[in-house]
Structure 1
Amino acid sequence: MTREVDRPPVVRQLRLVVEADDHDAAVAFFRDALGLPEEAAFAGDGDARVVILDAGRATLEIANPAQKRMIDEVEVGRQVAPRIRLAFEVDDARTTTERLIAAGAEQVAPPTVTPWQSLNARLDAPADLHITVFEELRGPDERAAYDGSGAEGDQPPPTRR
């Protein structure tokens, strides 16, 4: 579906609001370990606190149940994801995965090359969030030309270390 060029976007920002029982641990994980810059922080009565982290460009990926099952199967080998899973594009999925595990995440699946040519790792993170960190293994031009099917003859590139 192509968006009209002369029509301004209606939505300016996607903001996901997550309740975290251990606010400090969640902030330390996502801000300090994952590296999301702090955009703002506010405090209110009764120890009310919120930290807004900049996660770069946001998209909303809506998958049907069959697609969700297929992604779990490819990335993990079994069904594990809840209805909502956060995915963060990073420059180095292996190093980021190691850093997040050291910061308290539980590895669900190690970095795995997917048929759509990204290196994806699954983790259970603070605030009861199930996350993917992924590294694109092809440049934007290569991704645009790739159909993503993983068909024979379209082999994945060697994984980066």
Structure 2
Amino acid sequence: MVKMFSSADLLEMAIHLEEEGEKFYRILESKVENDELKRLFSYLAVQEHAHAITFKEIYREIEKEGFVSAYPDEEANKYLHAWVDSQVFIDWNGLTKKTVWIKEEVLDLAIRLEKDSLLFYYEIEPFIPEKDRKILSEIIKQEKNHLYQLTEFKKGMI
């Protein structure tokens, strides 16, 4: 029998990805010199933070309903986070050590992160119960918007 992800599991993963995304964009914001790019990364970091808060609020609401996680113990939760990290890879060491960034390079990195996030969500979709797909659809919509903003910014550079 295939184990499904519950809405709680999905929200756990989404919160983790959004928190990692905020950290990622804050680092990029601190590394680039271009003011427009700084503003874009600052904006995206704020968006990621807001998304994490939204998902935490939804999580608290379903917690009140007495949800059951498919992976309820702490060890399984750690595994879930590690699995998410392996699907959406950020080289934190390389990111923090690099001092000079080319605009196109940093945008490509951010675009890749958003694409990886989208791919991850699409890959887990078959494991999400039908009743929880609305939450997943909202997450995907927000990630697509980030991708759109980044690609439009990049187009404007060319």
TM-score range, shorter chain: under 0.3
TM-score (norm 1): 0.25
Greater strand share, structure number: 1
Which structure: larger Rg? 1
TM-score (norm 2): 0.25
